[in-house]
């Protein structure tokens, strides 16, 4: 439906109209997901990707003019890193009881677009409502995991969960020891939270951040499951959290800056 040449010319046109530099760039591939009306532009490298995004202005104008629901830009490097991490993830779950994740890993290797098969997990799961609370709940529901949710009191007032005591920094950097103890009390063998790693085992319990594990970024999660702003965060921890996600390619710098700005204004 859309060609590389057509999109490249439209990017140049939008940049000229808005007095942006006529920077050289290269688009390697365009993929259109007709079912969900999403266009995926695959730029050659991250510099090309930045030109196409154009501080969100160019990509926004592309969406308007092409009349599609969503336009997302990736670089071939982004996708190569994702596939490498998924290959590592595949090895980590074999023979562990988490093999139900394998069809999701295989589907993510073919991303974009995202086409997850129907998966039913049977591992009893504890969901700790941390930063990506809605996405964590959505992931557990999508995989039909038998689960219960806990979270720090008052942090996510719109969500249904069992409140537990904790510090605001745990919303960004969950306390592993505390969650293992809570999981044991509930006979859960899997904990989902925004851990600073993909998968780790502790005392026979799997600690999983499914989004680091599958290398799915913050921008994608908002569209997949929605996002609920925590009412309380530790500001120093937030800067570290955003910096780490941005470094790993899981958050766009503009999204990170907007999050920090939002909470900084609230603190004032």
Distance CA 252, CA 72 (A): 12
Given a contact cutoff of 8 angstroms between Cβ atoms, the answer to whether 89 and 57 are in contact is no
Which pLDDT belongs to residue 56? 86
Query: Alpha helices, DSSP H only, in the chain?
Result: 4-17, 46-53, 57-66, 76-93, 102-109, 133-142, 176-185, 210-213, 218-225, 235-247, 253-267
Given a contact cutoff of 8 angstroms between Cβ atoms, the answer to whether 39 and 68 are in contact is yes
For residue 192, the surrounding DSSP H or E stretch is strand 190-192
Which pLDDT belongs to residue 267? 67
Do strands 27-33 and 38-43 pair parallel, antiparallel, or not at all (unpaired)? Answer: antiparallel
Nearest to 218 by CA among 198, 245, 247: 245
Q: Which residue has the tokens 């990017």?
A: 11
Q: How many of the other CB atoms lie within 10 Å of CB of 171?
A: 27
Give the chain's residues under pLDDT 50.
Answer: none
Per-residue pLDDT tens over the stretch 28-75:
999 999 999 999 999 999 899 999 999 889 999 999 999 999 999 999
Distance CA 188, CA 203 (A): 12
Q: What is the pTM of this model?
A: 0.92
Which pLDDT belongs to residue 1? 78
Distance CA 132, CA 245 (A): 12
Burial class (CB in 10 A: 0-12, 13-18, 19+), 168: middle
Given a contact cutoff of 8 angstroms between Cβ atoms, the answer to whether 55 and 255 are in contact is no
């Amino acid at each position: 439906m859309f060609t590389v040449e057509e999109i490249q010319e439209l990017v140049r046109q939008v940049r000229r109209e808005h007095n942006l530099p006529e920077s050289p760039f290269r688009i390697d591939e365009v993929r259109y997901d007709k079912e969900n009306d999403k266009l995926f532009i695959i730029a050659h490298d991250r510099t090309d990707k930045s030109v196409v995004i154009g501080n969100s202005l160019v990509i926004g104008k592309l969406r308007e003019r092409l009349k599609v629901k969503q336009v997302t830009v990736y670089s071939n490097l982004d996708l190569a890193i994702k596939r490498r991490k998924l290959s590592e993830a595949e090895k980590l779950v074999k023979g562990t009881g988490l093999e139900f994740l394998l069809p999701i890993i295989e589907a993510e290797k073919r991303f974009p677009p995202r086409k997850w098969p129907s998966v039913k997990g049977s591992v009893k799961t504890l969901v700790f409502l941390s930063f990506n609370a809605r996405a964590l709940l959505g992931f557990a529901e999508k995989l039909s995991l038998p689960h219960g949710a806990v979270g720090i009191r008052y942090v996510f007032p719109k969500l249904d969960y069992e409140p537990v005591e904790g510090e605001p920094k745990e919303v960004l950097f969950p306390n592993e020891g505390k969650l293992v103890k809570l999981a044991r009390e509930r006979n859960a063998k899997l904990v989902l939270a925004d851990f600073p790693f993909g998968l780790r085992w502790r005392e026979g319990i799997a600690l999983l951040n499914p989004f680091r594990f599958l290398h799915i970024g913050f921008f994608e999660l908002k569209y997949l499951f929605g996002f609920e702003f925590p009412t309380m965060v530790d500001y120093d921890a937030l800067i570290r959290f955003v910096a780490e996600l941005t470094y790993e390619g899981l958050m766009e710098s503009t999204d990170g800056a907007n999050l920090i700005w939002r909470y900084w204004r609230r603190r004032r």
